[in-house]
Amino acid sequence: MAKLASKLEVFYAKEGPYKEGLAKLRELALQTDLEETLKWGAPVYTINNKNVLGIIAFKSYFGLWFYNGCYLKDPEKVLENAQEGKTKAMRHWKFQSVQEIPTQKVLSYIKEAIENQKNGLEWIPERTKKTIIPPELKEAITKNAALSASFKSLAPYKQREYCEYIATAKQEKTKQTRLKKIIPMILEGHGFNDKYR
């Protein structure tokens, strides 16, 4: 615990243009029932061991990131998607100076984020889709125990590559030709595209 506290103090004591602003955001976070910890080299504030927000500093700005910020109402229209198209849940609120921090508004966003977390409003990534084994490969696996064991031991993405290779063939004859080609590869435990990796 003492080690964590000293690492947090080192983060906040660091000289830089945003030192005062970071201290202000920390003060606001600590006015709530969030627990302060350090993850990925930066302060993270949690409730029931779930990440609620982080305090960050980059070259051109500092600010808050809300781990499940997509659920915040954002009446001030200040939240930005961390990486448009990639980030699903996280949202940033950026500042350039301590004077830009609207104390009560920031506090209300933090409190809403805490309530959302307590109410289970949390982004759960979708599971990757289930691999559908084409009938030709399924039949070969059913008839050959060694082939079945080898196929099952492959990583899911490697299994998918083989399934797609068979399934994308238009004609039955091509499917069978492709099947003959991949059986020895599967038995050897190789992925379809291993030679390109």
Taking the CA atoms of the chain, what radius of gyration do you get in angstroms?
25
Q: Which of 130, 196, 191 is nearest to 162 (CA)?
A: 191
pLDDT for 131-190, tens place per residue?
Answer: 889 999 999 999 999 999 999 999 888 998 999 899 999 999 999 999 999 999 999 988
Name the least confident of 74-78, 114-118, 134-138, 191-195: 191-195
Q: Where in the chain is the domain with CATH 3.90.1150?
A: 2-118
Domain boundaries 2-118, corresponding CATH code: 3.90.1150
Q: Enumerate the β-bridge partners of residue 161.
A: none
Residue written as token pair 């992925």: 191
- pTM of the shown model: 0.63
Residue 18 has pLDDT above 70, yes or no: yes
Average pLDDT, rounded, for the chain: 91
pLDDT for 173-190, tens place per residue?
Answer: 999 999 999 999 999 988
93's CB contacts (< 8 A; 6+ apart) are 63, 64, 65, 66, 78, 79, 80, 106, 109
Q: What burial letters (b/e) apply to 33-50, b meaning 16+ CB within 10 Å?
A: ebeeebeeeebbbbbeee
Residue 197 has pLDDT above 60, yes or no: no
| Band of pLDDT at residue 87, cut at 50, 70 and 90 | confident
Phi, psi at residue 173, to the nearest 5°? -60, -40
Mean local confidence (pLDDT), 49-77: 95
pLDDT on residue 176: 94
